[in-house]
Chains A and B, each alone.
Chain A
Amino acid sequence: MTAKMEASEGKMPHNKLLTYGLVIAVVGTYLTYLNVLTGVAVFSFFGGIAAVAAIWWGSDTIKHLCSYGLGTGVPSAGMIAFGSGAIAMIVGTKFGIASPIVTVILAAILGAVIGYTANNIINMNIPVMIMSLMELAIVGALTMLGFASMATGSFEFNQLIIGSMSLSVENAGAAAGGAQTFLVTAIPQYGNSLIGGAALAVIFFLGALALQHPFNACLGPNESQDRTLMLALSCGFLSMIVVAVISLVFLGLLAGVINLVISLIAWFYCYKTYIDLSKRDAYAWLDSKPIIEVGGDQ
């Protein structure tokens, strides 16, 4: 659906973005572990910040990949990133405290195989393909892991699949005195958890659109890196608002509201800065003014 793909030469080198994005995303996810250490859920918002960092880095990767002209538009890159990222992330969460690291490794391998497939079997022959799909798979997995840990306060599989406990009352038979006794056990409910209730699907698509939107929305001859990256931050924090609303279910009022307030403030700041940057880059900023004729061939 795009007319022309042109990417600006970035002021910030891609490798620097990659390093910052990866480190902040992994460290941020680990900071949610403070929930376990302190016993309160208020540190969950670090997961959201981790996810935003991953999106910020990934939007630059998409720019590099899509400037080659894939023939299918920018959004498909976001879809394949999160399709593979979702697989790596869900399996990665099984590894307890090592989950974020394992998720990165799994996603990297998965992305490399898909990149190899696209490049050498489907004959795309794009030099940055394997590296880009590797990065995108890691971005997808880390974004989902970050948002999932923000919503539930944990990045471990058991916490993501168990929503609440219900009490099961079983008749243990009549005791000797004739009185009925009951065996009460706590049974985990899977259906109302983040994964069991499929709320992860929302995170899946929230991330996929936030990842592809910045470059898709800003492409054109006057694309500039700082504006695109600011939009990436804005989209990331916007997604974080939605995740904060969902986190009300899992974290309760206090932690949920902290998530919501932090994401709202951060989003508002980034969105406002993005508008200012658009104003800076635009040819003119007009309100209720007629079409300026520049003389097309009519």
Chain B
Amino acid sequence: MHSQFRRRTAAVVTAVALMTGCAGNAPAAAPATTGSQPATTGSGGDTVRYAAPGSPSNAVTDPHGLLPGESDMVRMALTYDVLTVPGADGSTKPRLATEWQPDETLTKWRITIRGDAKFSDGRPVKAADALFSLRRMGKKAAENFGRMAMFDLDASKVIDDTAFELMTKKPYAEVGKALEGATFVVPEGSDDFGKPVPGSGPFRPTAKGGAQAVVFERNDDWWGPEPPSRFIEVRAVPDPQARAQALLSGQVDLAGGVPATLAKQQEGNSAVRLLRRPGATLYPLVMRMDTEPFDDHRVREAVRLALDRKQLLDTVFLGYGEVGNDLITPKDSSSPANLPERTRDLDRAKKFMADAGLAGGVDLTLHTTTAYPGMDSAATLISQQLADIGIRVKVSLEPADTYFSEIYGRKPFYLSYLGGIPFLDVVRVALTPGSPTNETAWKDPAWFADLDEALAERDDAKRSSLLADLQAKLRDQGGYAIWALSDRLDLAKAELSGVPEGIGFASAFIDQVSLDG
């Protein structure tokens, strides 16, 4: 055994020697970098290394367009200040904007920004920069899902250095929420984003890194709470398994979005900590309300009643999550609480099918993909569960790279994807009547009238209750079946602290991470 081991080792050593030979011939071997900045390499306590979901190949430097990977969000959130941020509880917290005050019509908002923020080139951050950035986002609507759609940016104007007037197209009481997360502020006039432009965020990107990793150095001029780490290294790693392995082999300190199977294996490993963010992801089952048989309310209800949600949760997400109650944004702060759980009831489901004239069953095609883990197995299991009420489902597995251009919003029956976005964002991207992205063909005029009324309501509690009613109505009459919510699973070194709580944009603000426990 021993000699065998040595022989094998010898083979490997030979391979290494061969490679060393090549290295000798390699031109322009960079001078050794260790020593000059020891903190940025290795596992020094002053650097937190984060392997985030994303691909180094499409890492963008423009903060206002499509941010293809989560690593892009994280890099932007370190580099730039945003106007407001979502708190862990789903409520809006100030960041660069300290106040957002409406006039009595709720269409004209005075946004006050802090006066002590500075871009990395020394210029102060002014209201004009903020409005310029919002306008730029407005122009790139196609690439950011129309994030500024509620604003009339042409009519908005700068008041002074620290305040601007933001006009909305209709009375809109949730302006604070609309400014959350992606409203990265860049210097006025920036138009070339081939390289990052100066930011005023808690960190600054350094030239060090290479194709895959970006090393950020603490911005000591930042107005906010001093980040405990001097360096944060953000690395885009496309493969979830590779992210987890990188953490387990000590090559990074935090791995975002790891597979549930691997998380399960690490339960009981004291060197690592499993971080769970409840309700981060859902794969809504979409039924288009303008297509047979889903144009019949009873069929949609039958589908919702036929789902065994617990079985889906346990199979698809290995139990990391909670069963869904058909609410599209159950973690939104305005989501209705205390609604009875919808559970499997095959008798009622069959009765609904019979009432709809489908006692003999119906043949359907359910589209799914492998873009996100478990989407394919979810569709298979759903097809088996629906067979119990006579719905014969053929599962069609589609290529991941065209799923959101060919299937999403087009096919009558498919699995969609939502990652921790607030209710009003879902309304904007998926419930707009007449738009190609209205995936369930939801167009109840009364509902939209109620929505306008809710958004014109000044009283927070009253508005929240109106929004809750809207979500409850969508749950019962809409074209979605939300069968489970999965946790977002991150693996961290045991001594790592300061990882933000909350889902969606909230999870991108990692400036307070620290390896000091």
* A, B: real partners: no
Q: Which residues of A contact B (CB under 8 A)?
A: none
Q: Which residues of B contact A (CB under 8 A)?
A: none
